[in-house]
């Protein structure tokens, strides 16, 4: 790969194969509202992987239930969601090649997690998976991914155009573009529409491709930079 100053990683669907864990939790929390609402929630979640659970819950109540979600209700939903997912995410398998990739690159450039999961929760999960040694910092919501990227770029005096963000959601791509950071997409069963929507982005199935595939010797701009 191109010699970057730093590498940023989303978490779910990028470092861990944990998207189904989150999907199951959303389905469980909206089960009482019937199968139609439940399916709408699941479909939206699968297509908006980079969106925080806070924003998702507010959206689901407003758009699918026609109700306003107050702060107390939001806090309760977030707590229930966290109790359903943390242990499962810690136990989730890694995306193939993640450990090798982190072993290789974290010793050469600073690496960061920028997730839509709440900061303290994603830090707990990173520690639980025993991968905290690879990362200079781990940030999550309520700050947006773009804001967290900007914060880390400034704090560590990094040039945006010399950094890379690895993500699997449109929100990841948008955050990278907003900050002027290179982007490589990780493909999954939940995001085939993104490869069609952004065909100029380099999309890989896993980190083994980035380690071993000759295409990974190209920079994103050579492979087709996002427009």
Same domain, 216 and 133: yes
CA 158/CA 177 separation, integer angstroms: 16
146 & 168 share domain = yes
What's the confidence (pLDDT) of residue 30?
97
Q: Which helix (H) or strand (E) holds 104?
A: helix 98-105
Burial (CB count <10 Å: 0-12, 13-18, 19+), residue 72: exposed
Q: What is the distance, to the nearest Å, from the Cα of residue 221 to the centroid of all Cα atoms in its chain?
A: 22
Residue 190 lies in a domain: yes
> Is residue 218 pLDDT above 70, yes or no?
no
Domain at 111, CATH number:
3.40.50.1000
> Is the residue at 102 inside a domain?
yes
Whether residue 224 has pLDDT greater than 90: no
Same domain, 35 and 102: no
pLDDT digits (tens, 9 = 90+) for 150-188: 999 999 999 999 999 999 999 999 999 999 999 999 998
User: In this predicted model, what pLDDT tens digit does every residue of 92-144 receive, in sequence order?
Assistant: 999 999 999 999 999 999 999 999 999 999 999 999 999 999 999 999 999 99
Counted domains in the chain: 2
Q: What percent of the chain has pLDDT over 70?
A: 93
Q: Sorting pLDDT into bands at 50, 70 and 90, what band is 5?
A: very high
The pLDDT of residue 4? 94
Q: Which domain holds residue 26?
A: 19-91
Q: What is the DSSP annotation of 1-14? A: ----SEEEE-SBTT
| pLDDT the model gives residue 1 | 63
Q: Among 48, 70, 91, which residue terminates a domain?
A: 91
- Residue 73 maps to a domain: yes
Q: Mean pLDDT across the chain, nearest whole number?
A: 91
Cis peptide before 142 (omega within 30 of 0): yes
pLDDT tens, position by position, 8-28: 999 999 999 999 999 999 999
């Amino acid at each position: 790969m191109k010699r970057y100053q730093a590498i940023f990683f989303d978490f779910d669907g990028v470092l861990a194969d944990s998207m189904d864990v989150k999907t199951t939790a959303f389905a469980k929390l909206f089960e009482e509202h019937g199968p139609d609402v439940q399916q709408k929630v699941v479909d939206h979640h699968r297509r908006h992987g980079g969106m925080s659970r806070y924003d998702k819950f507010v959206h689901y109540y407003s758009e699918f239930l026609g109700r306003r979600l107050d702060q107390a209700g939001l806090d309760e939903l977030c707590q229930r969601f966290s109790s359903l997912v943390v242990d499962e995410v810690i136990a989730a398998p890694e995306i193939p090649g993640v450990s090798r990739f982190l072993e290789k690159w974290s010793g050469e450039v600073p690496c960061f997690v920028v997730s839509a999961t709440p900061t303290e929760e994603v830090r707990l999960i990173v520690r639980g998976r025993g991968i905290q040694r690879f990362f200079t910092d781990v940030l999550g919501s309520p700050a947006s991914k773009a804001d967290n990227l900007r914060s880390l770029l400034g704090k560590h005096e990094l040039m945006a155009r010399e950094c890379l963000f690895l993500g699997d959601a449109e929100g990841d791509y948008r955050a990278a573009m907003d900050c002027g950071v290179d982007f490589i997409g990780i493909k999954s069963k939940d995001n085939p529409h993104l490869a069609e929507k952004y065909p100029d982005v380099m999309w890989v199935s896993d980190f083994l491709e980035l380690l071993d595939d000759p295409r990974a010797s190209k920079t994103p701009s050579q492979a087709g930079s996002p427009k």
